[in-house]
């Protein structure tokens, strides 16, 4: 069995190499390579910015890293995304202003919100004060909910703000402020596994960008919408303008449609999730409500000297 | 061109109107307080003290700005700005009128962002961001009183959001929409204001709204005897003014929501012929009706302020979790049963059922609840 291993591995590797070579001959490979290079630059910048081990004091690192990350962000915005859709193609040559020339405001809003989200995400993982990290996280969520709103997903954007920014991040802040009133602890100054996390993020975003390009190519070739992850032309043109609420009729009301989908198509999942959350709440109350007996205080709240400790 | 001009005019109008309203609400509050306590109130600046808000504003601006040593400067500055921004943004989907005729075009809706399908949810979402100002103000001041005050009042705000959300679900069930304009229209068409049909929901909403706006029975954030000034102890001059502004903006928001959700919005029975008319007279009457109702609700809140003592902190939390949330669930139950089994036009039976639920709750409280037996419970002391 072990003897076959090198042969097997070699065949796999040659297969991979073949696939890589054929991928390079695809029409958009130049673009993909360019965006991969840009992503690598961004990843290196991010790694330099992360607070690492003994190098935490290096200001130079952070400045270089910030410059690299910013550069890669700007460059990434200029990479063309071929949509393969004849009617949209003329308006959407590049990712920059990709949301159509008829609505510059929409494009500007999209880029402003995306930049806010990305920059505050970077600030969140690179800042050394956990309070600031939590706040940057809240800004990321606000940017995201703005993006949802831009795409017409009103309910999702409100739910993001209520659930995440309004409740979860507030809980984080509570814990952080109560746990360390005198500033950040030692282990908050250093990020865990900066190299590995940068690599993982790099691979993830590379796969994402690559898939975006190649699925667009599939769309060009045969209109193979089933294999494409890009939405069809109709959806793109619809979502590329601001959701025009002026002409919205009762037929396509957003919340009503969402409610129908949730409580007709997915009613079982909704119920199961509800039961799950209820169980979690009951469990949390069981754990939290368990009486803790302090030494010297018995059930009646009196200590050994007989003085009543119970505040009245 | 008109696409962005119309919202811009409305934004400027609403912002200016709310700022002026806040300035004069302070004067109204002081006058009401004086009346309740058999005093005269502010009467030095201008006739009947009418220019008092201008003097107050000048004082806010001219006083010395202090930033305590050891404070986190950035967050210390951001806190009042964020709370004021959130309070102002909440007005985006709140209607302050109905339709205004416009020559040669569709009539204009008197909401900054009309036809946003999630109207009420947007107000709640933005309102839930106000907690950040409180938490940050308390933490950044580098003062233990401020930190405790910030934690305490943010816990209060987060807790009372739950009964607030629960109480309005009944309204949403009966109106079939999250849009505040549609909710008002539903009340105008049925002729019933929702407070008469769902008295329990109205009660829960008023109490939770009072707590969300930090009005007096619930104003633990600035419970002076215990925590000096709470989270804004260290704030001076205009930065303190921003906190005070935001507080009154919250009051206005809650009053607007109460009127729009439960008190019929611009609808008034005697003016029913003008309910659907799109003319200048109808438009002005509707704006007046809505805003006078709003003012009356605010006066009611001020009346409560000088009539009730402040709750203790454990009582406050008990009211939220052990009284208001169960009441909200009961209201939701009654509303859901009505919606499912009753004729859509049969509002009389719904109202009877709603008031029966109130009676049942009162009976239960009288027979089984022991409000005097709640005690402070800290971990370690059982």
Categorise residue B127: left if φ over 0, alpha if ψ from -120 to 50, beta otherwise: alpha
Token digits of residue B78: 């951001």
Task: Give yes or no for residue B127 having a pLDDT over 60.
Answer: yes
Task: Give yes or no for residue B135 having a pLDDT over 70.
Answer: yes
Which single residue is written with the structure tokens 């940017």?
Answer: A143
Give the Cα-Cα-Cα angle A207, A210, A212 (nearest 5 degrees).
110
What's the confidence (pLDDT) of residue B202? 92
Q: Taking residues B254-280, report their average pLDDT.
A: 78
Q: How far apart are CA B148 and CA B135, in angstroms?
A: 10
pLDDT in tens, B335-372: 899 888 888 778 888 888 888 888 988 888 888 776 55
Nearest neighbour of B380 by CB, restricted to A155, A248, A297: A297
Contacting residues for B64 by C-beta, under 8 A, at least 6 apart: B236, B237
Query: Alpha-carbon torsion B84, B90, B92, B98, what sign?
Result: negative
| Substitution target from A176, A177, A254 for chain B, most B beta carbons within 10 A | A177
Q: How far apart are CA B41 and CA B28, in angstroms?
A: 10
| Substitution target from A173, A176, A258 for chain B, most B beta carbons within 10 A | A173
Provide the b/e sequence for B187-219 (b: ≥16 CB within 10 Å).
bbebebbbbbbbbbbbbbbbbbbbbbbbbbbbb
Question: Which helix (H) or strand (E) covers residue B99, if one does?
Answer: strand B99-100
Global pTM reads 0.80
Reported as a pLDDT band with limits 50, 70 and 90, residue A139 is very high
pLDDT in tens, B247-261: 899 999 999 999 999
CA distance B87 to chain A (A): 14
Token digits of residue B253: 């928001």
Q: Taking residues A140-165, report their average pLDDT.
A: 88
| Chain A residues lying within 8 Å of B128, measured CB to CB | 161-162, 165-167
Of residues A307 and B338, the one with the higher pLDDT is B338
Q: How far apart are CA B336 and CA B78, in angstroms?
A: 43
| Substitution target from A136, A150, A161, A257 for chain B, most B beta carbons within 10 A | A161
Token digits of residue B259: 């009127």
Reported as a pLDDT band with limits 50, 70 and 90, residue A272 is very high
Reported as a pLDDT band with limits 50, 70 and 90, residue B204 is very high
Q: Do B125 and A161 touch (CB under 8 A)?
A: yes
Half-sphere exposure of A126 (CA within 13 A, CB side): 21
| Chain B residues lying within 8 Å of A134, measured CB to CB | none
Q: Do B118 and A254 touch (CB under 8 A)?
A: yes
pLDDT in tens, A205-247: 888 877 776 665 554 444 444 444 444 444 444 343 444 444 4
Half-sphere exposure of B118 (CA within 13 A, CB side): 23
Token digits of residue B310: 């402040």
Using alpha carbons, select from A52, A36, A73 the residue that is nearest to residue A196: A52
């Amino acid at each position: 069995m072990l003897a076959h291993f090198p042969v097997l591995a070699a065949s796999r590797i040659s297969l991979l190499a073949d696939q890589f070579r054929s991928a390079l001959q695809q029409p958009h490979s130049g673009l993909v390579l360019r965006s991969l290079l840009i992503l690598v630059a961004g990843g290196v910048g991010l790694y330099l910015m992360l607070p690492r081990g003994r190098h935490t004091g290096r200001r130079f690192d952070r400045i270089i890293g910030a410059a690299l990350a910013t550069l890669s962000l700007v460059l990434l915005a200029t990479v063309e995304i071929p949509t393969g859709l004849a009617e949209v193609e003329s308006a959407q040559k590049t990712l920059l202003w990709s949301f159509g020339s008829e609505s510059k405001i929409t494009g500007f809003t999209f880029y402003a919100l995306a930049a806010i989200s990305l920059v505050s995400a970077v600030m969140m993982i690179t800042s050394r004060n956990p309070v600031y990290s939590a706040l940057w996280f809240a800004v990321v969520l606000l940017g995201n909910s703005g993006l949802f709103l831009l795409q017409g997903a009103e309910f999702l954007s409100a739910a993001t703000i209520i659930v995440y920014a309004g409740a979860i991040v507030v809980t984080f802040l509570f814990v952080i402020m109560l746990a360390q009133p005198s500033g950040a602890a030692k282990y908050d100054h250093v990020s865990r596994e900066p190299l590995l996390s940068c690599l993982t993020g790099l691979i993830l975003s590379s796969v994402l960008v690559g898939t975006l390009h190649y699925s667009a190519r599939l769309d060009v070739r045969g209109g193979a919408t089933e294999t494409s992850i890009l939405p069809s032309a109709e959806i793109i043109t619809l979502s590329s303008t601001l959701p025009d609420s002026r002409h919205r009729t009762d037929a396509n009301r957003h919340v009503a449609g969402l409610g129908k989908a949730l409580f007709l198509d997915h009613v079982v999942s909704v119920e199961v999730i509800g039961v799950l959350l209820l169980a979690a709440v009951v469990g949390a109350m069981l754990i939290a409500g368990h009486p803790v007996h302090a030494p010297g205080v018995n059930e009646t709240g009196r200590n050994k000297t007989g003085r009543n400790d119970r505040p009245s | 061109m008109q696409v962005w001009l119309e919202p811009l005019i409305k934004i400027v109008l609403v912002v200016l109107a709310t700022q002026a309203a806040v300035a004069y609400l302070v004067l109204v509050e002081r006058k009401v307080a004086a009346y309740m306590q058999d005093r005269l109130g502010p009467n030095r600046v201008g006739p009947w003290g009418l220019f008092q808000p201008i003097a107050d504003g000048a004082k806010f601006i001219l006083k010395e700005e202090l930033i305590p040593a050891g404070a986190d400067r950035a967050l210390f500055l951001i806190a009042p700005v964020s709370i004021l921004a959130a309070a102002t943004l909440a007005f985006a989907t709140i209607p302050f009128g109905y339709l205004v005729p416009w020559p040669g075009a569709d009539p204009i809706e008197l909401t900054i962002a009309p036809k946003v399908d999630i109207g009420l949810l947007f107000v709640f979402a933005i309102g839930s961001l106000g907690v950040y100002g409180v938490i940050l103000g308390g933490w950044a001041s580098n003062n233990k009183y401020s930190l405790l005050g910030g934690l305490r009042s943010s816990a209060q705000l987060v807790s009372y959001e739950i009964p607030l959300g629960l109480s309005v679900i009944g309204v949403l069930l009966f109106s079939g929409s999250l849009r505040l304009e549609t909710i008002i229209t539903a009340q105008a068409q049925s002729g019933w204001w929702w407070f008469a049909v769902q008295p329990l929901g109205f009660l829960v909403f008023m109490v939770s709204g009072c707590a969300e706006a930090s009005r007096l029975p619930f104003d633990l954030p600035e419970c002076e005897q215990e925590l000096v000034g709470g989270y804004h102890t260290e704030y001076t001059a205009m930065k303190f003014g921003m906190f005070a502004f935001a507080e009154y903006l919250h009051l206005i928001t809650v009053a607007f929501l109460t009127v729009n959700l439960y008190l019929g919005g611009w609808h008034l029975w005697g003016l029913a012929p003008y309910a659907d008319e799109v003319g200048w007279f109808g438009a002005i009457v509707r704006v007046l009706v809505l805003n006078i109702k709003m003012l009356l609700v605010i006066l009611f809140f001020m009346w409560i302020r000088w009539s009730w003592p402040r709750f203790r902190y454990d009582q406050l939390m008990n009211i939220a979790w052990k009284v208001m949330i169960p009441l909200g669930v009961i209201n939701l139950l009654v509303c859901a049963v009505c919606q499912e089994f009753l004729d859509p036009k049969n509002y009389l039976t719904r109202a009877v059922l709603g008031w029966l639920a109130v009676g049942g709750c009162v009976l239960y409280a009288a027979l089984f609840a022991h409000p005097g037996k709640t005690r402070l419970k800290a971990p370690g002391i059982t």
